[in-house]
Amino acid sequence: MKIAVCLKQVPARDWQPRVNEQKTWVRDQDATFELNEPDAYALEAGLRLREQLGGEVVVCSAGPARVAQALREALARGADRAIHVEEDGLAAADALAIAGALEAAMRDETFDLVLTGLQSDDQGSAQTGVMLAALLGIASAAIIMEMDVQPPVVRVKRELEGGWFQWVTLPLPALLTVQSGINQLRYATLKGIMAAKKKEIRKVTPPDGLVSRQRVAAIYPPEKTKQTRMIEGSAAEAAKALVTALRDDARVIS
């Protein structure tokens, strides 16, 4: 089975974000980066499927040259080879631009299964995977908790709202966006790190005319404010007003 896992490199969670001069994104030159955690669970799912069914796992990513670090980490964990769509402008591109770049690089590979994390830790749109499936013209399902691949189909368990779940059967090829926490992550061993140095990272350029259609107007750190509100009246009136404020204004009770 030929499995693709799409990865993203994101700013490290323990890094204190600094906004760039245009106030449209973080200062990449000051940031430290890591593999997007939801994508790590997708990678683990792909590696386990390869161990079960055979085949290969190909990791794919789009972004500047620094993204090769995340791909090397994935190769050290056990992926077979990598595809890197290298372009500086993709660092802060929207989901459709990233999906378009990946689709162009993956189109001729004819993957049986494509896995992505549910969303990225930086933008968190949760749209790249489903858009990529539409561009590839394959079936897709999101928020996957379990999967059972029995070619030519895959049966998956989806997480719904309110604690509900749904079992769905899709024809292969298919794309699945994987929920975090569905498995126990493996980490790179010394042997894996040494082996990753010899594995292929194929660099490709994005197609012409690929532009980000989403424009970030401004980003800023959360504003810290304090506000005190005095509730007047008798005890009964104050209690009623407090309940109303907590329900309608603060929305901490229903």
pLDDT tens figures, 126-172: 999 999 999 999 999 999 999 999 999 999 999 988 889 999 999 99
Average pLDDT over residues 83-94: 89
Category of 126 on φ-ψ map: left (φ > 0), alpha (ψ -120 to 50) or beta: left
What percent of the chain has a predicted confidence (pLDDT) above 70? 100
* Res 225: pLDDT: 77
Euclidean distance between CA atoms 47 and 27, whole angstroms: 34
Q: Rounded to whole angstroms, how far apart are CA atoms 95 and 140?
A: 16
How distant is the alpha carbon of residue 111 from its chain centre? Answer: 19
CA distances from 225 to 113, 220, 222, 228 (A): 47, 15, 9, 10
Considering only 13-22, 110-119, 185-194, which range has the smallest mean pLDDT? 13-22
Share of the chain above pLDDT 90, in %: 63
What is the enclosing helix (H) or strand (E) of 239? helix 235-244
DSSP 93: -
Exposed/middle/buried for residue 151 (C-beta within 10 Å: 0-12, 13-18, 19+): exposed
Per-residue pLDDT, 28: 76
Concatenating the DSSP letter of every residue in 27-81 gives -GGG--EEE-HHHHHHHHHHHHHHHHH-SEEEEEEEESTTHHHHHHHHHHHT--E
Give the count of alpha carbons within 13 A of 217, CB side only. 0
Residue type, 199: K
Q: What's the CA gap between 90 and 98, in Å, rounded?
A: 7
Domain boundaries, the chain: 2-204, 224-254
Instruction: Quote the radius of gyration of the chain (alpha carbons, Å).
Output: 22
What does the pLDDT read at residue 49?
Answer: 95
Confidence of residue 41 (pLDDT cuts 50, 70, 90): very high
Question: For 203-234, how does the pLDDT look when each residue is reduced to its tens digit (9 = 90+)?
Answer: 999 888 888 888 888 887 777 777 788 888 89
pLDDT of residue 144: 94
Q: Which CATH class is domain 2-204?
A: alpha beta
pLDDT digits (tens, 9 = 90+) for 50-70: 999 999 999 999 999 999 999
Tokens read off for 202: 């194929």
Q: Is the pTM for the entire model greater than 0.85?
A: no
* pLDDT tens, position by position, 164-179: 999 999 999 999 999 9
Q: 95 CB contacts (<8 Å, ≥6 apart)?
A: 123, 125, 127, 128, 131, 214
The secondary structure of residue 170, as a DSSP letter, is E
